Structure formats: C-alpha cells, structure tokens
Structure 1
Amino acid sequence: MHSFNLLKKALIAAFTLCSFTAASMVEAATWTITYPRPIDDSDARAQYPIALLKLALDKTGVNYELRPSDRILLTGKAMRQLRENREVNVVWSMTDSQREKELTPIRIPIAKGLIGLRVFVINENKKAKFNDVLSLTDMRKLVPIQGEEWPDTKILQANGFNVFTVPEFREAYDMIKQGKGDFFPRSVMEVDAELEVEGRRNNLYLEPSMALYYPTAMYYFVSSSNKTLANLIETGLNRAIEDGSFDALFESTYAPILASLGVNERKIFTLENPLLPIETPLTNSALWYKPKTEASKE
C-alpha cells in the first residue's frame, strides 16, 4: 500500500508538472503575424493600422512577431492571398458583404469610419468645374476615378456616378495629372500622405470646400479558418477601447489631419452604401467619428 501511495503521488506530481509545462509552452508561444508590405516603407497610410494592431496585441499579453510580407501586396492581391492562407494572415481593408463572406472580419472600425469621408484630389486646371457644384445632382455630372476592385467603385456607381476605373492606385493619380476624369475621392486618412508623395507641384490640387461621406468601415480581416487570431485581435481592440488607449491613438493620429483639411467647414454630401453588411455596428456611436457639419443628402 505504501508503495502504491508513493507511485500515486509520483504520477500526480508528474502530471502536474506536464500540465504546467504545457501551459507555459502555450503562454510562451510566439504568434507570427504577417501583414501586407506597403508600396514603400515610408507609406504613411500603413502606419496607423500597424500601430493599432500592435497596441491591440500588446493588450492581450501574448508573445508575437509582427512583420510585413516578403513582397509588396496591394489590397486586391493581399485579400486573395489571405483567403488562401498564403503570405499574410491579417489584412486591413474597407468592408463589403463579399469580403465578409469570404473572410473573418473583426467588426471594430479601426479608424472610426474615416475611410468613408472623402475629399477630392483634382487637376488644378479643373478647379472651375467645382465652382458650379451646389448639390449632389451637380456632383454626379463629374467623373470620379477609382480602382477596379475597390468597394468604393460600386458605392459610387450605385449612387449614380459614372466611374472611370484603373487597375492600380498609382494609376489614378497619373490619370488626374493627365487631366482624365474629374476627381479622385480620397479618404481624409490618406490624402495628405499621398499628396506628399505625389507632389502638389504636379498640377494636383485638393478641392477645399466639399467632401463625400458614405457609411463604411475599415476592419482587420483574417482567414475564415483562423478564428483564434480573430478572437485575439478583437480582445485586444476591446481592451484598448475600454482603457482609452484606442481613442488616444486615433486622436493623436487624425485630429491634426482633420483640422488641417477643414473637415468641419466643408459641405458634405452623403451617399448610400448598398454594400454595407447588416452586421456593421452603426448603432454604437463610440466606434464612429462624425464631422460637425450637417451632411447634405438627396
């Protein structure tokens, strides 16, 4: 009996040690999280999503390595690679119903909906065209330029715009420089950084008095087979919202930009977004930024 008790104690101790070791190994495991490498390392448009992702992961307490993909991946290609579990395991992009069917969205708008607040990059020689825009009906007479695979293209088309499409982002700026199309609607999140790169001297001009707004969200997306990573990122984002660090990062990043663009002084035309999934958390006002200017709608 004495030997049996000793054996029993030894087995319990061994099991406890194994359980502790296994738990420690899980806790100490390093998550390798790969996001799409931007066009260049100085691309300011990627800085906030990366910083917020890092903040969220820090809030979870897990060990992780956050790194860019080996090659440059624009949004369309990145989404395809994510669906196939290749090259990347997280992508941030504007949502639509199709993307939410094919991937797992973390339904927390990472930039509070600013992706849908659009100002206009135009050719300086076309400034006079915008003097006559008094309504959304007037705005529809102008031709916007957008990417072929962007949800924005379908949103503008659904609202009656004749959209000129290009295969890649940089080509849209080239078209504006060449005087093709009338305007390139850019999110307030992106436009300053883009104009720094493209150069205002290249007959590019930021229209100063108007904007378009459509309700939409930029989310982090992961593969539909990677629910664990989705839960991890969502947990971290919610913790950052609760302790105020999410808002602090948002304000420090975008408050100066919104002020410099004079968003609250612009006339804002509101569009419908037929691509917006019904699960979008529009009723949670804490997750959204709303300009003070009352939007115009027809």
Structure 2
Amino acid sequence: MKALLILLLLFSAHCFAITTVTTTGKQKPDDASHDYFVGLLRLALIETADEYGYAVLQTVPYPGQERMLKLLALGAFYDVVWAGNSDIRQSDLHKVAFPLFRGGLGWRGMIIRQQDKNKFSAYHSVKDLSKVIACQGRHWPDADILEHAGLAVARVGYFDAMLHMVELKRCDYLPLSIFEGQAELDLVQSSFPNLIFYQDLIIQYPLTMHFFVKSNNKQLANRLTLGLQRLYDSGAYEYYMQKHPLTQYAFPLSKFKNSRVIKLENPNIKQKELAKFGLTWPSGK
C-alpha cells in the first residue's frame, strides 16, 4: 500500500510539473512590442501544454540587445527572446522558423518631425534618402541594411534616445515596421507631440522577426514551432495580429497600396525565409 501511494505521488508530481520559461523584460515602462511578443509566447506555450506540460513565463531585465543575445547563447538568464533575423544570429542560436510579424518586419514606415512631412513627400529613391540621417538601434540588423544601401545612420542604444534625436534634429527619421510604429509612437505622443509616423513612403527589405533559443534547446524550439503553427492553422494568429494594440493599425493592408516603396537588399541574409506564412504586400504603386 505504501509503495502504491509513493507511485501515485510521483505520477501526480509528473503530471502537474510546471516548467518555467524565462524571457526578457520590457525596454521601457510602456512597451507595446513586449506585450505583443510575450502574448504570442504565452499562447504558443498554452497550445502545447498537452504534449509538453504547463509552463509559466517569467521575465528578467532587458540589458540591451547585444548583451541579451550573448547571454541567451550562453544559456544564462534567458530561455527565449525575440529579435530580427540574420545569418550570424542563426549561427550562434536556434531560430524558431515562424516569422512573428508574418514577414512584415522589413516593411518600414518612419517617425519624422511634423514639419518635415512635405520634404519626405518628395522622396522616391535611395538617392533622395541619402540627403537625410536615419536613427536605428545600435545592434539592429536594419542599421546594417541601411548602411549597405549607402544611407547615413546614427546608431543609438535605446528607443527613447532615438525619439529624442529625431526631435532635436540629430537625425531625421526613425524607420519602424508598419506593424509597430504607430502604436509605439502613440504611447509617447504626449512627450513627443511634434513627431508623426509617416507611412506614405515605405522602405522595404527582407527581414523577419523570430523567437530564438539556445542552440541546443531543441525541445523548446520544437514546442514553440508547434504552438505557433497551431495558432496559424486555426486562424488565431491572424486574429491576434489584427486585434492586438501594437499591430492593429496596419490592417487592412490595402491602406498601403498607394504608398511609395523604396526596396533595399539585406546583406545579412543568405538563406531564403519560409514564404508559407508571409503576408502579401498590396498591389498599387
């Protein structure tokens, strides 16, 4: 009887074991992007609870992107984070293949000063953009892409600092994905009333956002892949993108059909991304 009781207790402990998954904390108090990606992470874990058991998320402070990715590669502090894709990152980490903006991370509107709207309305080419200076994250793949195209880039460590630099005319525009730019600016609009998210001109290049885990953490990578695939197949992923406060402004995508588009190449990506989950840019200009 005693042996049976012990077996039952062990079985119960196994069935109700909870895995803790650690990810990064917010970059700033009002961080719409963080809420979007953590929400997706949580949904993917819930979708796979039957196969892998229950999981709870915990966060640790954000130390800057380069430091965060190095810590993840070492297996220190973080189990999973999200970042823009590059071949270098894929060599150090395990990428979860599903693109978290459905391939739209490289569809970039831009935060500019209100009084510069007419100036940007006359821009149609890389040559035009070469007259002004972009602000970008110090370790964002986007900074490399813009520089590769011959554009001037001011590399900055933190998002709020980029906004201040645009405001103070130390740079002229801050390219952000159409799926995040308006929501991110709305959160700080009272502090930066002179800035707007300009979407009549789109810079477009191949770039995707992904979850990354430590290179040998195949179990978590497989779990997240399965969870995201199920969300996509059920239609829940599309619904999430269209309704989340971060990404809802971009829908319907047909609103961009008359935007001017400047296409750039991405020197950091040699491997073709999976097109299965990608969104289609609206036809127009």
What is the TM-score normalised by the length of structure 2? 0.87
Q: Going by fraction, where is helix more abundant, 1 or 2?
A: 1
Deviation at 1:152, TM superposition (A): 0.4
Contact 1:31 1:63 in 2 (8 A): yes
Contact 1:214 1:270 in 2 (8 A): yes
1:256 aligns with 2:248: yes
Deviation at 1:37, TM superposition (A): 0.4
SS of residue in 1 equivalent to 2:83: strand
Aligned residues: 277
Contact 1:38 1:73 in 2 (8 A): no
Deviation at 1:175, TM superposition (A): 0.7
Q: Which deviations, in whole Å up to 9, do the C-alpha atoms of 1:53-88 show, x marking residues without a partner?
A: 11111111221111211x233322221221121221
CA distance in 1, matches of 2:221, 2:124: 44
| Higher Cα radius of gyration | 1
Change (3 A) 1:64 1:156: same
Q: 195, 199, 202: which one pairs with 2:189?
A: 199
SS of residue in 2 equivalent to 1:207: strand
Contact 1:104 1:222 in 2 (8 A): yes
Q: 135, 139, 147: which one pairs with 1:149?
A: 139
Change (3 A) 1:54 1:277: farther
Q: 35, 50, 53: which one pairs with 2:41?
A: 53
1:34 aligns with 2:19: no
Change (3 A) 1:77 1:263: farther
Aligned 1:15-30 pairs, distance under 5 A: 25-30=13-18
CA distance in 1, matches of 2:179, 2:247: 10
Contact 2:110 2:174 in 1 (8 A): yes
Deviation at 1:158, TM superposition (A): 1.4
**Percent of matched pairs sharing the same residue:** 26
CA distance in 2, matches of 1:118, 1:147: 14
SS of residue in 1 equivalent to 2:152: coil
Change (3 A) 1:219 1:143: same
CA distance in 2, matches of 1:240, 1:99: 25
SS of residue in 1 equivalent to 2:115: helix
Q: 176, 180, 184: which one pairs with 2:166?
A: 176
SS of residue in 2 equivalent to 1:163: strand
Residue segments in structure 1 that go unaligned for 5+ positions in a row: 1-13
1:81 aligns with 2:71: yes
- 1:126 maps to 116
SS of residue in 1 equivalent to 2:133: coil
Residue segments in structure 2 that go unaligned for 5+ positions in a row: none
Letter in 1 for 2:144: K
CA distance in 1, matches of 2:230, 2:252: 30
Change (3 A) 1:277 1:89: farther
Deviation at 1:270, TM superposition (A): 1.6
1:274 aligns with 2:262: no
